[in-house]
Amino acid sequence: MDESINNIKAAAIHFLQLTAVGNVNEAYYLYVDPEFRHHNMHFKGDAESLKAAMIESAVYLPAKQLEIRFAIAEGNMVAVYSKVVVSPGEPGIALVHFFRFRDAKIVELWDLAQAPEDEIINKNGLF
């Protein structure tokens, strides 16, 4: 596999790990491009709005745990499927993040989340 593909895949994973444990400033310093754009209907779409929400999440959800399930990289794009447990004992939420990189920095980020229903019909579940 191309070394640059491995590098952006590792960068995407490390970015998510850092932000999950509250090291948001470090994650942004290492990986976020000045032209960063975010695509999520709950945020304005700029780097600072998302950063503030990530910092707030770390403060109000200190027990949050992120488990990377797998990551796929192709060209300048990385997709990461993960599980986040907000509080111990909860079933967890499925997260998908799509990253677009330029010069080893994240220039675009898309994210989708799915929480399990009370009654899960699919015997395979989310994970």
Burial 81-118 (b: 16+ CB within 10 A, else e): bbbbbeeeeeebebbebbbbbeeeebbbbebeeeeeee
Task: Write out pLDDT tens, residues 1-32.
Answer: 467 888 999 999 999 999 999 999 999 999 99
pTM (2 decimals)?
A: 0.92
Summarised one tens digit per residue, pLDDT across range 68-124 is 999 999 999 999 999 999 988 888 999 999 999 999 999 999 999 999 888 888 888
| Residue 126 pLDDT level (bands cut at 50, 70, 90) | confident
pLDDT at 42: 84
pLDDT, position 20: 95
Residue 50: its H or E element: helix 47-60
Instruction: Give every strand in the sheet of 32-39, ordered side by side.
Output: 32-39, 105-114, 93-102, 77-85, 65-74
Domains of the chain by start residue, with CATH: 3-114 (3.10.450.50)
How many Cα atoms are found within 13 Å in the side-chain-facing hemisphere of 42? 8
